[in-house]
């Protein structure tokens, strides 16, 4: 288990020191191996530590609507059901969302570093590789899933609560913390005992070494 707050700190997506690997996956791998994670991220915390981002939000600024100046970069994206409603009713809904996610990540060349689908909201940890694609990626994904939902259930109005929230992950120590936070969601909600036991979470794919094409695992093994 790696510490929640590794000592090595440098910007995600940029690197001014030529001795450090430029590829984001290589840099993540370097941090993980330095703490002997043995190729997988666990969702539980060390005794006395809490898997939470509450104390780090000041270092992960919210990106205002229409502001694409900070792209490319790594973003934690949260989308919630309208008024806390359940947006994933059964396995077919979860599967369809992940299928759409795979489609739109390929279309907009977005890398998925971690994800977790909860009954009433979703978490994505992404690397946006091109300028002005974050909004297009999320708009396409959320609209397509909303159309799917309304085709299956008698629902009128907005499926999602307002606009998605996006937080820029400025430093790689927060990237690892964010991975842990996202993959700990089903454990904190008492849906499973271990994150890798939850079907709709990247922890399962990461630990199993799955090759679904959804999670970008390059350099994290």
Cα separation, 169 vs 162, in Å, equals: 22
Q: Write out the residue range of the structural domain in which residue 62 sits.
A: 24-208
How far the first Cα of the chain sits from its last, in Å, is: 15
Cα separation, 4 vs 23, in Å, equals: 22
According to the model, what pLDDT value does residue 88 have? 97
**Best CA proximity match to 31, nearest among 56, 14, 6:** 6
Q: Show the tokens assigned to 123.
A: 């978490």
Which pLDDT band, with edges at 50, 70 and 90, does 9 fall under? Answer: very low
What mean pLDDT value characterizes the chain? Answer: 75
According to the model, what pLDDT value does residue 72 have? 83
Rounded to an integer, the average pLDDT of 195-200 is 92
Q: Is residue 10 part of a domain?
A: no
Give 46-93 pLDDT, tens digit per residue. 333 344 444 344 445 554 444 444 568 899 999 999 999 999 999 999
What CATH number is associated with residue 41?
A: 3.30.70.1290
Q: Show the tokens assigned to 39.
A: 């190729």
Number of domains in the chain: 1
32 or 112: which leads in pLDDT: 112
88: Cα within 13 Å, side-chain hemisphere: 19
Give 125-164 pLDDT, tens digit per residue. 999 988 889 999 999 999 999 999 999 999 888 999 888 9
According to the model, what pLDDT value does residue 156 have? 84
Is the pLDDT at 17 greater than 80? The verdict is no
Give 174-188 pLDDT, tens digit per residue. 888 999 999 999 999
Q: Answer whether the bond into residue 62 is a cis peptide, omega within 30°.
A: no
113: Cα within 13 Å, side-chain hemisphere: 31
Q: Which class for 66: exposed (0-12), middle (13-18), buried (19 or more C-beta within 10 A)?
A: exposed
pTM of the predicted model as reported, rounded to 2 decimal places:
0.72
Q: Is residue 220 part of a domain?
A: no
Q: Is residue 178 part of a domain?
A: yes
According to the model, what pLDDT value does residue 210 have? 62
Q: Is residue 116 part of a domain?
A: yes
Rounded to an integer, the average pLDDT of 167-177 is 84
Cα separation, 119 vs 190, in Å, equals: 13
Cα separation, 1 vs 211, in Å, equals: 24
According to the model, what pLDDT value does residue 67 have? 47
Q: Is residue 48 part of a domain?
A: yes
Cα separation, 29 vs 74, in Å, equals: 16
Q: Is residue 17 part of a domain?
A: no
The residue written with tokens 């290589």 in the block is 26
Q: Is residue 218 part of a domain?
A: no
Q: Is residue 18 part of a domain?
A: no
């Amino acid at each position: 288990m790696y510490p929640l707050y590794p000592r090595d700190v440098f910007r995600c997506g940029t690197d001014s020191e030529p001795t450090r690997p430029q590829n984001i996956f290589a840099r993540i791998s370097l941090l993980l191996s330095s703490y002997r994670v043995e190729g997988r991220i666990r969702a539980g915390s060390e005794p006395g530590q809490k898997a939470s981002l509450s104390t780090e939000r000041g270092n992960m600024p919210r990106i205002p609507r229409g502001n694409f100046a900070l792209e490319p970069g790594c973003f934690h994206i949260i989308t919630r059901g309208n008024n806390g409603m359940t947006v994933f009713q059964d396995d077919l809904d979860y599967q369809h969302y992940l299928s759409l996610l795979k489609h739109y990540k390929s279309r907009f060349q977005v890398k998925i570093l971690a994800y977790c689908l909860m009954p009433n909201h979703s978490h994505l940890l992404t690397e946006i590789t091109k300028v002005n694609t974050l909004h297009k990626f999320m708009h396409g994904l959320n609209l397509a899933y909303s159309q799917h939902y309304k085709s299956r259930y008698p629902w009128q109005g907005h499926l999602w609560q307002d606009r998605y929230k996006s937080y820029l992950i400025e430093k790689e120590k927060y990237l690892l913390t964010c991975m842990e936070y996202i993959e700990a969601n089903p454990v904190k909600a008492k849906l499973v005992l271990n994150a890798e036991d939850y079907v709709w979470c990247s922890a399962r794919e990461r630990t199993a070494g799955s090759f679904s094409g959804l999670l970008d695992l390059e350099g994290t093994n």
